[in-house]
Amino acid sequence: MADGRIRISLATGELEVEGTREFIAGYDDTIQTMLTRLRDQQVPVASQVNRALAVGSGADQVPTVEIAEDRHFGEVIHALPKSASGTDQILVAGYFASRTITDRTFSTAEANGMLIEQGIKLANASQSIKNNMQAKRVFKVGTRFRVSRTGEQHVRGLING
Protein backbone atom coordinates (compact mmCIF):
# COMPACT_ATOMS: atom_id res chain seq x y z
CA MET A 1 0.00 0.00 0.00
CA ALA A 2 1.78 3.14 -1.22
CA ASP A 3 -0.33 5.88 0.37
CA GLY A 4 -3.61 4.08 0.90
CA ARG A 5 -6.56 2.46 -0.76
CA ILE A 6 -10.30 2.93 -1.15
CA ARG A 7 -12.66 0.01 -1.80
CA ILE A 8 -16.32 0.52 -2.56
CA SER A 9 -18.88 -2.26 -2.92
CA LEU A 10 -22.26 -0.94 -3.97
CA ALA A 11 -23.54 -4.51 -3.90
CA THR A 12 -23.00 -4.81 -0.16
CA GLY A 13 -23.08 -1.13 0.78
CA GLU A 14 -19.47 -1.16 1.98
CA LEU A 15 -16.90 1.62 1.87
CA GLU A 16 -13.38 0.88 3.10
CA VAL A 17 -10.74 3.59 3.36
CA GLU A 18 -7.23 2.77 4.46
CA GLY A 19 -4.19 5.01 4.57
CA THR A 20 -2.44 7.97 6.09
CA ARG A 21 -4.33 11.02 7.35
CA GLU A 22 -3.01 12.96 4.35
CA PHE A 23 -4.29 10.34 1.90
CA ILE A 24 -7.74 10.23 3.48
CA ALA A 25 -7.91 14.03 3.73
CA GLY A 26 -7.16 14.28 0.01
CA TYR A 27 -10.28 12.22 -0.75
CA ASP A 28 -12.51 13.65 1.97
CA ASP A 29 -15.07 15.20 -0.40
CA THR A 30 -15.28 12.03 -2.48
CA ILE A 31 -15.59 9.84 0.61
CA GLN A 32 -18.36 12.04 2.04
CA THR A 33 -20.22 11.89 -1.29
CA MET A 34 -19.95 8.09 -1.40
CA LEU A 35 -21.11 7.78 2.22
CA THR A 36 -24.16 9.91 1.40
CA ARG A 37 -24.90 7.77 -1.66
CA LEU A 38 -24.54 4.54 0.27
CA ARG A 39 -26.75 5.86 3.05
CA ASP A 40 -29.45 7.17 0.67
CA GLN A 41 -29.63 4.34 -1.83
CA GLN A 42 -31.09 0.94 -1.19
CA VAL A 43 -28.37 -1.71 -1.32
CA PRO A 44 -29.25 -4.36 -3.92
CA VAL A 45 -29.21 -7.99 -2.87
CA ALA A 46 -26.64 -10.26 -4.50
CA SER A 47 -29.11 -11.94 -6.85
CA GLN A 48 -30.23 -8.55 -8.21
CA VAL A 49 -26.59 -7.62 -8.81
CA ASN A 50 -25.98 -10.93 -10.60
CA ARG A 51 -29.04 -10.43 -12.80
CA ALA A 52 -27.98 -6.85 -13.57
CA LEU A 53 -24.51 -8.04 -14.58
CA ALA A 54 -25.99 -10.72 -16.84
CA VAL A 55 -28.33 -8.29 -18.67
CA GLY A 56 -27.20 -6.76 -21.93
CA SER A 57 -24.31 -7.69 -24.13
CA GLY A 58 -20.75 -6.59 -24.57
CA ALA A 59 -17.35 -8.06 -25.16
CA ASP A 60 -16.21 -7.24 -21.64
CA GLN A 61 -19.18 -8.87 -19.94
CA VAL A 62 -19.04 -12.37 -18.52
CA PRO A 63 -22.46 -14.01 -18.21
CA THR A 64 -23.40 -14.92 -14.68
CA VAL A 65 -24.48 -18.47 -13.95
CA GLU A 66 -27.08 -18.55 -11.21
CA ILE A 67 -25.90 -21.15 -8.72
CA ALA A 68 -27.68 -21.94 -5.47
CA GLU A 69 -29.02 -18.39 -5.36
CA ASP A 70 -31.33 -19.08 -2.44
CA ARG A 71 -28.95 -21.28 -0.43
CA HIS A 72 -26.52 -20.15 2.25
CA PHE A 73 -22.83 -20.92 1.82
CA GLY A 74 -22.73 -23.12 4.94
CA GLU A 75 -25.56 -25.27 3.64
CA VAL A 76 -23.87 -25.69 0.25
CA ILE A 77 -20.34 -26.37 1.52
CA HIS A 78 -21.50 -29.04 3.97
CA ALA A 79 -23.63 -30.69 1.27
CA LEU A 80 -20.66 -31.19 -1.08
CA PRO A 81 -19.81 -34.81 -1.82
CA LYS A 82 -17.25 -36.44 0.45
CA SER A 83 -14.96 -36.71 -2.59
CA ALA A 84 -14.76 -32.89 -2.89
CA SER A 85 -11.15 -31.79 -2.49
CA GLY A 86 -9.77 -28.66 -0.86
CA THR A 87 -9.43 -27.28 -4.39
CA ASP A 88 -13.17 -27.79 -4.90
CA GLN A 89 -14.04 -26.36 -1.50
CA ILE A 90 -12.05 -23.14 -2.01
CA LEU A 91 -13.57 -22.75 -5.48
CA VAL A 92 -17.09 -22.91 -4.01
CA ALA A 93 -16.07 -20.51 -1.23
CA GLY A 94 -14.54 -18.15 -3.80
CA TYR A 95 -17.71 -18.25 -5.85
CA PHE A 96 -19.83 -17.35 -2.83
CA ALA A 97 -17.36 -14.66 -1.67
CA SER A 98 -17.41 -13.05 -5.12
CA ARG A 99 -21.21 -12.94 -5.40
CA THR A 100 -21.52 -9.82 -3.25
CA ILE A 101 -18.65 -7.86 -4.82
CA THR A 102 -19.48 -5.73 -7.85
CA ASP A 103 -16.49 -6.89 -9.90
CA ARG A 104 -17.16 -10.51 -8.81
CA THR A 105 -13.65 -11.07 -7.45
CA PHE A 106 -12.38 -12.67 -4.25
CA SER A 107 -9.12 -13.10 -2.40
CA THR A 108 -7.60 -16.32 -1.10
CA ALA A 109 -7.99 -14.98 2.46
CA GLU A 110 -11.71 -14.21 1.97
CA ALA A 111 -12.49 -17.66 0.57
CA ASN A 112 -10.36 -19.43 3.18
CA GLY A 113 -11.97 -17.35 5.94
CA MET A 114 -15.41 -18.51 4.84
CA LEU A 115 -14.25 -22.13 5.02
CA ILE A 116 -12.74 -21.61 8.47
CA GLU A 117 -16.06 -20.11 9.69
CA GLN A 118 -17.66 -23.41 8.66
CA GLY A 119 -15.04 -25.48 10.49
CA ILE A 120 -13.11 -26.46 7.36
CA LYS A 121 -9.34 -25.98 7.54
CA LEU A 122 -7.37 -26.41 4.32
CA ALA A 123 -3.76 -27.50 4.55
CA ASN A 124 -2.70 -24.99 1.87
CA ALA A 125 -5.36 -22.59 0.57
CA SER A 126 -2.91 -20.84 -1.78
CA GLN A 127 -2.02 -24.13 -3.46
CA SER A 128 -5.72 -24.92 -3.87
CA ILE A 129 -6.19 -21.57 -5.66
CA LYS A 130 -3.16 -22.35 -7.87
CA ASN A 131 -4.72 -25.73 -8.71
CA ASN A 132 -7.91 -23.94 -9.76
CA MET A 133 -5.87 -21.52 -11.89
CA GLN A 134 -4.12 -24.43 -13.63
CA ALA A 135 -7.51 -26.02 -14.30
CA LYS A 136 -8.71 -22.63 -15.64
CA ARG A 137 -11.50 -22.47 -13.07
CA VAL A 138 -10.29 -19.09 -11.75
CA PHE A 139 -8.18 -16.32 -13.21
CA LYS A 140 -6.33 -13.33 -11.77
CA VAL A 141 -7.83 -9.86 -11.76
CA GLY A 142 -5.11 -7.66 -10.29
CA THR A 143 -4.27 -9.18 -6.93
CA ARG A 144 -7.65 -10.93 -6.68
CA PHE A 145 -9.33 -13.85 -8.47
CA ARG A 146 -12.51 -14.35 -10.48
CA VAL A 147 -14.32 -17.63 -11.08
CA SER A 148 -14.31 -18.44 -14.82
CA ARG A 149 -17.17 -19.95 -16.82
CA THR A 150 -15.43 -23.31 -16.51
CA GLY A 151 -15.23 -22.76 -12.75
CA GLU A 152 -18.92 -21.85 -12.53
CA GLN A 153 -19.81 -25.03 -14.44
CA HIS A 154 -17.61 -27.05 -12.06
CA VAL A 155 -19.28 -25.43 -9.03
CA ARG A 156 -22.72 -26.20 -10.51
CA GLY A 157 -21.67 -29.83 -11.00
CA LEU A 158 -20.43 -30.07 -7.39
CA ILE A 159 -23.57 -28.50 -5.95
CA ASN A 160 -26.09 -30.33 -8.11
CA GLY A 161 -24.27 -33.66 -7.69
Specify the CATH number for the domain of residue 131. Answer: 1.10.10.10
100 and 64 fall within a common domain: yes
35 and 61 fall within a common domain: no
How many Å apart are CA 14 and CA 70, to the nearest integer?
Answer: 22
66 and 112 fall within a common domain: yes
56 and 26 fall within a common domain: no
76 and 148 fall within a common domain: yes
32 and 94 fall within a common domain: no
Domain interval for residue 20: 4-40
82 and 131 fall within a common domain: yes
17 and 66 fall within a common domain: no
64 and 8 fall within a common domain: no
Helical H segments across 57-142, by residue range: 73-78, 86-98, 108-117, 125-134
- Of 130, 125, 86, which Cα lies nearest the Cα of 108? 125
Amino acid of residue 132: N
Number of folded domains in the chain?
2
79 and 15 fall within a common domain: no
Indicate the SS3 state at residue 9. strand
Average pLDDT estimate for 41-66: 44
pLDDT in tens, 101-156: 888 899 999 999 999 999 999 999 999 999 999 999 999 998 999 999 999 999 98
50 and 36 fall within a common domain: no
pLDDT in tens, 58-107: 434 343 444 555 578 888 898 888 888 999 999 999 999 888 788 889 99
Average pLDDT estimate for 5-20: 70
Average pLDDT estimate for 24-31: 79
How many Å apart are CA 45 and CA 12, to the nearest integer?
Answer: 7
71 and 145 fall within a common domain: yes
Which pTM value belongs to this model?
A: 0.59
